[in-house]
Amino acid sequence: MITRIAITDDHEMVLKGLETMLSNTKEIDIIGTFPNAQKTLEGLSKDCPDVLLLDINLPDINGIELSKTLIKAYPNLKIIALTNFEDVSFVKRMLKQGVHGYLLKNTDRIELLEALKTVLSGELYIQKNIQKKLFAPTSKTTHNSGVLTKLTRREHDVLVAISEELTTKEISEKLFISPKTVETHRMNIMSKLGAKNSVGIIKIAMELDLL
């Protein structure tokens, strides 16, 4: 099955570099490259890809606002932020808009392909070193949200494991519980947070400062 990709970045070298990086992958077809937000909106209105690799720092509309517009207009579109910004605040703002992945421009071909595969499967992908910063322990209390108190200790353990992108089997082994129990906790977390899937769990948990 062919995955149709579009890329938005205002640097020609980045666009060409990504095209070259993905050109030898038979399962990928790059259907468009865009230098700014306006060209992206025009291009996607004519032919929407499966995945958009989107820079945050654009000359007309920033990627955060653009992603919000695109996700509303094209609910099946997967967006991966591809940027130089490592600041956690940018990551959180993009994820809160509903993007499906976050990569730095120093990523290699293997990780880029892994990210594409992950978001197409309906899961969230965050580059490993960004993930460490994002989910690093802080001194900020989260009990004031009122939601953390509704989660059991074990449900919170599972929530943290989900944020680390562990599979059900890996969570089972890490927490010494059965895969069925992991799935039960996952369903309970989704119910308590009002999420529809694992991506929603992470998005809502971040909004509520549970991670």
Domain-located, residue 135: no
pLDDT of residue 15: 93
- The reply to whether 77 falls in a domain is yes
What's residue 149's pLDDT? 52
Residue 134 within any structural domain of the chain: no
pTM for the full predicted model: 0.69
- The residues pairing with 28 across neighbouring beta strands, listed in sequence order, are 3
Instruction: Write out the residue range of the structural domain in which residue 124 sits.
Output: 3-129
What CATH number does residue 200 fall under?
1.10.10.10
- pLDDT, position 208: 78
Q: Which amino acid is located at 103 in the chain? A: L
92 & 180 share domain: no
How far, in Å, CA of 115 to CA of 128, rounded?
Answer: 11
Element (H, E) at 144: none
Residues of the chain with pLDDT under 50: 139-144
pLDDT tens per residue, range 93-133: 888 888 999 999 989 999 999 999 999 998 899 998 888 77
pLDDT of residue 55: 94
**How many CA atoms are closer than 13 Å to the CA of 48, on its beta-carbon side?**
12
Q: Would 162 be classed as within a structural domain?
A: yes
Note whether residue 178 is domain-resident: yes
At residue 204, the pLDDT reads: 83
pLDDT at 141: 44
CATH of the domain at 28: 3.40.50.2300
Q: What local confidence, expressed as pLDDT, does residue 138 receive?
A: 52
The amino acid present at 113, given as its one-letter code, is L
Residue 111 sits in the same domain as residue 202:
no
* pLDDT of the residue at 79: 97
Dist CA 179 CA 167 (whole Å): 10
- Report how far residue 107's alpha carbon sits from residue 112's, in angstroms, rounded to the nearest whole number: 7
Count Cβ atoms within 10 A of the Cβ of residue 145 and give its class: 0-12 exposed, 13-18 middle, 19 or more buried. Answer: middle
**pLDDT the model gives residue 133:** 77
The Cα–Cα gap between 152 and 158 comes to 10
pLDDT for the residue 136: 67
Q: Residue 140: what pLDDT? A: 46
Q: Are residues 109 and 188 in the same domain?
A: no
Q: Which residues lie below 8 Å from residue 160, measured CB to CB, with a gap of 6+?
A: 135, 211
Q: Are residues 38 and 93 in the same domain?
A: yes
Verify that 17 and 105 share a domain, yes or no.
yes
Q: Are residues 59 and 160 in the same domain?
A: no
